[in-house]
Amino acid sequence: MQVVVSSRHMDVSPAMKTHAEQKALKLLKYFDRIQEIEVIFDHTKDLMMVEMIVNAEQKKEFIVHHTDPDAYACVDGCVDRLERQLSDHKKKLRNRKHPEGGASIRHIEQR
């Protein structure tokens, strides 16, 4: 898996880059089919905005934005939202194999 950190209108400090990479790597715990995570820092007059784009297998993309005066809080907010999205997506994939409302084995044997 690859983590790409970039910025618009600012320079990213090495500490911020390391923090973003470490948080992004923790997302593998929630969904192991991630191929790339792109972290984009954007600085406006008073606020920081962080955008995280997660590319998973089968061209599935998860995009999250978070705005806060603190860049570290932005990264944490994005990771929290991505954890939720990735775990929900994983549950959806897992439940797809077991359709609801199927006939039980007893009903099939009685026919």
The two tokens of residue 73 are 């809080």
Mean predicted confidence (pLDDT) in 76-105: 81
- Residues shown for the chain: 111
**How much is the CA Rg of the chain, to the nearest whole Å?**
19
Tell me the C-alpha distance between 13 and 53, whole Å.
20
Q: What angle do CA 11, 15, 18 make, to 5 degrees?
A: 100
Weakest mean pLDDT among 47-51, 69-73, 105-109: 105-109
Mean predicted confidence (pLDDT) in 84-109: 73
Q: Is the pLDDT of residue 38 over 80?
A: yes
User: What is the overall mean pLDDT for the chain?
Assistant: 88
CATH number at residue 76: 3.30.160.100
Return the closest-CA partner of residue 83 out of 12, 45, 17, 29.
29
Amino acid at residue number 82: L
pLDDT at position 34: 93
For residue 70, give its domain range: 2-110
Confidence band, pLDDT 50/70/90 cuts, at residue 99 = low
Q: Is the pLDDT of residue 4 over 80?
A: yes
Q: Which residues pair with 62 in a beta bridge?
A: 54
CA-based diameter of the chain, in Å? 72
Percentage of the chain exceeding pLDDT 70:
86
Mean predicted confidence (pLDDT) in 58-81: 94
User: How many domains does the chain divide into?
Assistant: 1
Q: Is the pLDDT of residue 9 over 80?
A: yes
